[in-house]
């Protein structure tokens, strides 16, 4: 059970003066119960990639597979793929549309035919998971604060209990407390068997939580590896706009000065190497 892309490519407005190649030859695979991050600078193709995973965009080159079903035009599986893969958009405003937050969160399960008497339970659970206050339910999603809108958008996807959760820069606009709450939620969902795809330009979060990371630059694949190997690659071959975490920079600088420390993003690890403390 996995999401897999093989030589995926996408060009916007082909054959016109606005032609833009947004993705070229992208290949990766991640299983349910794992956390896969896609990192890159603005314009590197992250959102374009995310939109291919639930068929919002269809591959122009290469293929995308969800649990063995190909994402392609007029496929009878497209409906099933959209049920399996929940996409949280980069900008909540692109996603929110209902009159109240309750209706917003209830929309997807209603759409997938969940009986009406089960809807309140679904809404409550999704709201709690996303860390949204109960008093938001009767409000218009458009009157929420930036952070609340983000949480409402996440809840509106969680309510249909997808097998994969794709989140496009979900930590933008969240304070550090809400960011921690969100990463804890994603860790929990992964342990319950959900596949997590996090789009981010925050390498700190990607390195800390991912099982594997894909780095994009200008629509091409720089590296797809486990976090430590990605850190080593990026340290040796910096990608513009993708800043290494402070601890990683510090450990790299110490190594250059001849200190016997590992290249790491983890403070605990660096501290132990420097001071021998656990």
Ligand X SMILES: Nc1ncnc2c1ncn2[C@@H]1O[C@H](COP(=O)(O)OP(=O)(O)O)[C@@H](O)[C@H]1O
Q: Site residues (CB under 5 A) for Mg ion?
A: 46-47, 90
| Strand stretches in 127-267, DSSP E | 164-168, 195-200, 212-217, 220-225
Q: Which is nearer to ligand X, 2 or 20 (CB)?
A: 20
Interface with ligand X, residue 20, by CB under 6 A: yes
Number of residues that bind ligand X (CB under 6 A): 12
Q: Report how far residue 13's alpha carbon sits from residue 195's, in angstroms, rounded to the nearest whole number.
A: 31
CB-closest chain residue to Mg ion: 47
Name which position in 15, 16, 17, 42 contacts ligand X (CB under 6 A). Answer: 42
Q: Which is nearer to ligand X, 98 or 172 (CB)?
A: 172
Interface with ligand X, residue 12, by CB under 6 A: yes
Interface with ligand X, residue 170, by CB under 6 A: no
Q: Pick one of Mg ion, ligand X, none as the site partner of residue 43 (Cβ within 5 to 8 A by kind).
A: ligand X
What is the closest distance, in whole angstroms, from the C-beta atom of residue 208 to ligand X in the complex? 21
Query: What are the backbone angles phi and psi of residue 236, rounded to the nearest 5°?
Result: -80, -30
Interface with ligand X, residue 47, by CB under 6 A: yes
How many Cβ atoms from other residues are within 10 Å of residue 261's Cβ?
18
Q: Report how far residue 86's alpha carbon sits from residue 31's, in angstroms, rounded to the nearest whole number.
A: 15
Using the contact rule CB under 6 A, the part of the chain among 39-47, 66-74, 102-110, 126-134 near ligand X is 39-47
Interface with ligand X, residue 16, by CB under 6 A: no
CB 216 within 8 A of CB 21: no
CB 116 within 8 A of CB 137: no
Interface with ligand X, residue 43, by CB under 6 A: yes
Cα Rg of the chain (Å, integer): 20
Q: Report how far residue 268's alpha carbon sits from residue 139's, in angstroms, rounded to the nearest whole number.
A: 43
What is the closest distance, in whole angstroms, from the C-beta atom of residue 53 to ligand X in the complex? 13
Interface with ligand X, residue 171, by CB under 6 A: no
Measured between alpha carbons, how far apart are the two ends of the chain, in Å? 38
């Amino acid at each position: 059970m996995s999401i897999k892309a093989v030589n995926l490519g996408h060009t916007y407005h082909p054959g016109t003066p606005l032609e833009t190649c947004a993705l070229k030859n992208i290949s990766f695979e991640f299983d349910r119960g794992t956390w896969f991050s896609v990192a890159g600078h603005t314009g590197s193709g992250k959102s374009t990639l995310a939109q291919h995973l639930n068929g919002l965009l269809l591959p122009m080159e290469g293929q995308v597979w969800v649990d063995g079903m190909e994402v392609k035009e007029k496929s009878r599986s497209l409906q099933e793929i959209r049920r399996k893969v929940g996409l949280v958009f980069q900008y909540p405003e692109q996603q929110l549309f209902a009159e109240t937050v309750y209706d917003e969160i209830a929309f997807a399960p209603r759409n997938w035919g969940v009986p009406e008497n089960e809807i309140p339970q679904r809404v409550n659970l999704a709201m709690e998971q996303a860390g949204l206050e109960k008093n938001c339910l009767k409000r218009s999603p458009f009157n929420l604060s930036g952070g609340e809108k983000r949480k409402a958008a996440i809840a509106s996807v969680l309510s249909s209990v997808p097998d994969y959760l794709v989140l496009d820069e979900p930590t933008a606009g969240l304070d550090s407390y809400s960011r921690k709450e969100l990463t804890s939620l994603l860790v929990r969902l992964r342990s319950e068997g959900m596949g997590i795809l996090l789009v981010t330009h925050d390498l700190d979060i990607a390195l800390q939580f991912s099982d594997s990371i894909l780095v994009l630059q200008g629509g091409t694949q720089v590296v797809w590896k486990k976090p430590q190997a990605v850190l080593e690659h990026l340290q040796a071959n910096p990608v513009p706009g993708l800043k290494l975490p402070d601890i990683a920079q510090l450990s790299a600088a110490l190594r250059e000065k001849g200190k016997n420390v590992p290249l790491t993003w983890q403070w605990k690890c660096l501290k132990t190497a420097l001071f021998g403390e656990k």
